[in-house]
Amino acid sequence: MRGALIAAAALALAACANDPLAEAPVAEAPMPAVEFVGTAELAAMRANGEAIVIDVRTPEEFAAGHLPGAINMPVETFDPAAVPFEDGRETVLYCRSGNRSGRAAGMLADFTGDTVRHLEGGITAWVADGLETATGD
C-alpha cells in the first residue's frame, strides 16, 4: 500500500511538471543602472544639442565655474521629479569629481527606472581636458 501511495504521488508531481498550462517563471525587469559618460563624449553630445546637463554641486560651486548651459540642482535638495527631460536629448549629471552625481544619478535611475549617466571625473576631469566652463548663475 505504501508503495502505491509513493507511485501515485510521483505520477501527480510528474503531471504537474509537464502541465502546459502551468505558469512559466516571470522574468524580472532589468534594474535601472548608473553609468559614466566621458568628457569627450559629453562634449560631443553638447555640441550636437543631444544633452541636458545637470550640475548637482552647491550654488556657490556652480557660480565659481560650470559647464555652459548647465542647470544647478544641488544633491542636498535633489528632486528627481523636477529633472527636465526632452525627447532626443539625454539628461547627464555631474559634480566636482563624480561622487555626488553618482548618488543623484542613482536616485534618478530609481525614479525613472531607466539608465542614467553622469560625468566620469566630474568637472575636475572636464577642466583637466581643457573644455569650456562658464561662471556666474
- Note whether residue 137 is domain-resident: no
Tens digit of each residue's pLDDT (9 = 90 or more) over 47-84: 999 999 999 999 999 999 999 999 999 999 999 999 99
Provide the domain count of the chain: 1
Which range marks the domain in which residue 88 is found? 32-128
The H-assigned helical ranges of 18-136 are: 39-47, 59-64, 99-112, 122-128
| Mean pLDDT within 109-132 | 97
On the question of pLDDT at 5 being above 80, the answer is no
> For position 63, which CATH number holds?
3.40.250.10
pTM above 0.85, yes or no: no
- Note whether residue 116 is domain-resident: yes
Question: DSSP secondary structure string, 2-30?
Answer: HHHHHHHHHHHHHHHHT-TTSPPPPPPPP
Kindly list the catalytic residues: 95
- Note whether residue 105 is domain-resident: yes
